[in-house]
Amino acid sequence: MQPNWISLPVAALIPLIFGMIWYHTNVFGAAWMQASGLTMDQVGSRSKIKTYLLTYLIGLLVAAALMPIVIHQMAIYSVLANEPGINDPQSEIGRFLSDFMGKHGSNFRSFKHGALHGVLSGIFFVAPLLGFNALMERKSFRYFAINAGFWIVCLAIMGGIICGWV
């Protein structure tokens, strides 16, 4: 079972859409602005179109990086990438891949499993990076928690979409 490549541009929308909710002043926006040292005027003065476009591009990069984490079957292709005949379904390696994917291609391919790996990626990879930045920038735990929480939830939804959309 091959990855559904349409899931990437769809998953890339999650940080954009969810960010509008998460960072809204009625949710975590007011607390985030206070912890960031920003005012409503400063936040509102940036170009919305530029922000949305860049957020979507960042979402695409994150979705592309998340795909091999949440779809375990992609690992076999990276291991065998240089094998002669990899792209020939009639070759020995092509028949092996076809047989392997026929037997195991749908294992662990669910929204729930992708969401689990998204959460784990958020907790064990993204949160420590954000924590490091928050420490160096002398930001509060509140600042770290708002931003880390955002990415953990986003990665859960993105991972679920990418893994479960077959």
3-state secondary structure 110-156: CHHHHHHHHHHHHHHHHHHHHHHHHHHCCCCHHHHHHHHHHHHHHHH
Residue 127 falls inside a structural domain: yes
Query: Which range marks the domain in which residue 160 is found?
Result: 7-72+109-164
Residue 66 domain-assigned?
A: yes
103 assigned to some structural domain: no
pLDDT score, position 41: 85
Using CA atoms of 158, 137, 57, 13 in order, give the dihedral in degrees to the nearest 10: 30
* Separation of alpha carbons 156 and 144, rounded Å: 18
Domain annotation covers residue 102 = no
Residues 12, 56: contact at Cβ < 8 Å?
Answer: yes
Nearest to 114, CA basis, from 76, 148, 149, 156: 156
In tens digits, the chain (166 residues) has pLDDT values of 577 889 999 999 999 999 999 999 999 999 999 999 988 888 888 888 999 999 999 999 999 999 999 999 999 988 998 999 998 999 999 999 999 999 999 999 999 999 999 999 999 999 999 999 999 999 999 999 999 999 999 999 999 999 999 7
pLDDT of 1 reads 59
- Prediction pTM value: 0.91
pLDDT value of position 77: 87
Q: Domain for residue 42, yes or no?
A: yes
Other beta carbons less than 10 A from residue 163's beta carbon: 29
pLDDT at 46: 80
The residue behind tokens 């002398």 is 138
Residue 53: inside a domain, yes or no? Answer: yes
The backbone region for 37, taken as left when phi is positive above 0, alpha when psi lies in -120 to 50, beta otherwise, is left
Q: How many domains does the chain have?
A: 1
Q: For residue 72, which of 33, 116, 38 has the smallest C-alpha distance?
A: 116
